[in-house]
Amino acid sequence: MSAYIDSAKTAFLFPGVGAQQPDMFAAFRTYPEYRACLEEVSDLSGVDLDDVIYGAGRHALNQVRIAQLALTATTVAIARILRDYCGLVPDFVMGHSLGQFPALCAAGYLDLATTTKVVNLRSEAVEACARTYEQGEMCWVLHVPAELVARQVEQTRQDEGVKVYVSAIDAFDQVTVSGEMSEIRRFAPRIEALGGLVYPLKIGGPFHSPLMATAQAQLVEALHFLPQPDDSRLLSRLVCNVSAVKLPAAELKTSILQHLISPVQWLRSMQYLAGQGVTHYLEISPKSVLGYLVQRTSLPLQPLYEPQELLGCVESLNTPEQRLERLWRRCCFHLYSEPLPGIDRGAALQQLREIRNEIRQRMPAAPVAPSERDFLYQRTRQWLDIIEVEGGQSLSTAQLRLQSLYQAAGR
């Protein structure tokens, strides 16, 4: 497990609406970071997410806006826990539809407050636009090659004037189309004649299509507050749903606006990840949704853990030895990958080695004693456990020395 994380490129995947469920991520409610994220999004949105997810208000979890806020808060919280407790920062992040917004937050393009505001405004614009359609809907088109579906959609628009659009390409033979339900019914026989299936999703709007242009226009002015992220300060790179390539920070606002009216290019995005050397992914979701789509691509991508194993992931990676090794690797990476005027890299590397060896010598021998194990799994965020050694010293002194070098490197 640790070998995968140390040597392989990884990606975090964030789901869209439909993945939410009552009591999701309940095992993480004891983590301060988890509670803090839920409270921040609740305060900013006016929605009591703790009650919606875990209490009497759970019936509201099926409302689109509530579901979007709940998924944003909880999945960002899990990403932060993986980062702060385990030092696990992915090379790439990617989200399906709504999932792109918590992915932006986890990668450092947006903070949580701004992400919440964007999700709120986007939800309001999208719902207002959806109400202008009598039966706006999205449907899966299954068992027909994606390229053939796209041609049939285009041909139907040309021949019959039917406003149906491809709104997601999830796998080689799994596509989503959007439009008025009456017009999708006119399109469906073309797919059925090819042996395919058209399955209504009951989403309540023709999302990710040009039919959402009114929502896009409403959002143009509303997003004036968006900050300009600094590419050099991003934690991870986001693979954009629209372009299926890395998103430059300068194109953040444009991508959010295009996201409303463009199909989700999930298949191409997964192919891009594989082409960038990503071999493992972690689906931050209450249940496995995106992992199924990954499997259908036949790409050489493997899950680090299944969604139901996320708590075990945190606890298995949150050991002193593993945190030390990840911190060591990150220090070395930044020491040699960034300009550091006036710093003798060779001397700094030797000092890093000495500090790492000092910490290793002070670590308790395996197996960990029960009292120390109890301490290890407290919900306390720290890079290394503070372990008393002879002379009343603790690992915290060496830890601070190591982290000071890391911070001096601009991190």
Q: Give the CATH number for residue 61.
A: 3.40.366.10
Which of 200-209, 272-281, 288-297, 306-315 is predicted with the least confidence, judged by mean pLDDT? 306-315
Q: Is the pLDDT of residue 13 over 70?
A: yes
Identify whether residues 115 and 254 lie together within a single domain. Answer: yes
- Shared domain for 222 and 104, answered yes or no, is yes
**pLDDT confidence of residue 315:** 74
Same domain for 14 and 104? yes
Rounded mean pLDDT of the chain? 84
**Whether residue 83 is found in the same domain as residue 218:** yes
pLDDT in tens, 102-150: 999 999 999 999 999 999 999 999 999 999 998 899 999 999 999 999 9
Q: Is the pLDDT of residue 366 over 70?
A: no
- Provide mean pLDDT across the span 190-207: 93
Q: Dig out the tokens for 236 from the structure.
A: 């991870």
How many domains does the chain contain in total? 3
- Examine the fold and report which residue of 315, 349, 367 is the final residue of a domain before the chain moves on: 315
- 146 and 199 both lie in a single domain: yes
Structural domain including 193 reads 136-205
Tens digit of each residue's pLDDT (9 = 90 or more) over 223-277: 989 988 988 889 999 999 999 999 999 999 999 999 999 999 999 999 999 999 9
Does the predicted model carry a pTM greater than 0.75?
A: yes
Residue 359 has pLDDT above 50, yes or no: yes
Whether residue 276 is found in the same domain as residue 217: yes
User: Residue 394: which pLDDT band, with cuts at 50, 70 and 90?
Assistant: very low
Mean pLDDT of 55-69: 92
Among 287, 315, 343, identify where a domain stops: 315
User: Percent of the chain having pLDDT more than 70?
Assistant: 81
178 with 303, same domain: the answer is no
85 and 20 in a common domain: yes
Domain's final residue, options 185, 205, 225 = 205
How much is the pLDDT for 379? 42
Asked if 58 and 22 sit in the same domain, the reply is yes
Are residues 255 and 327 located together in one domain of the fold? no
Q: How large is the average pLDDT for residues 281-302?
A: 92
Per-residue pLDDT, 155: 94
What local confidence, expressed as pLDDT, does residue 408 receive? Answer: 53
Q: Are residues 121 and 220 in the same domain?
A: yes
218 and 86 together in one domain: yes
pLDDT one-digit tens code per residue, 314-345: 877 666 676 676 667 667 766 766 677 777 87
The CATH number linked to 152 is 3.30.70.250
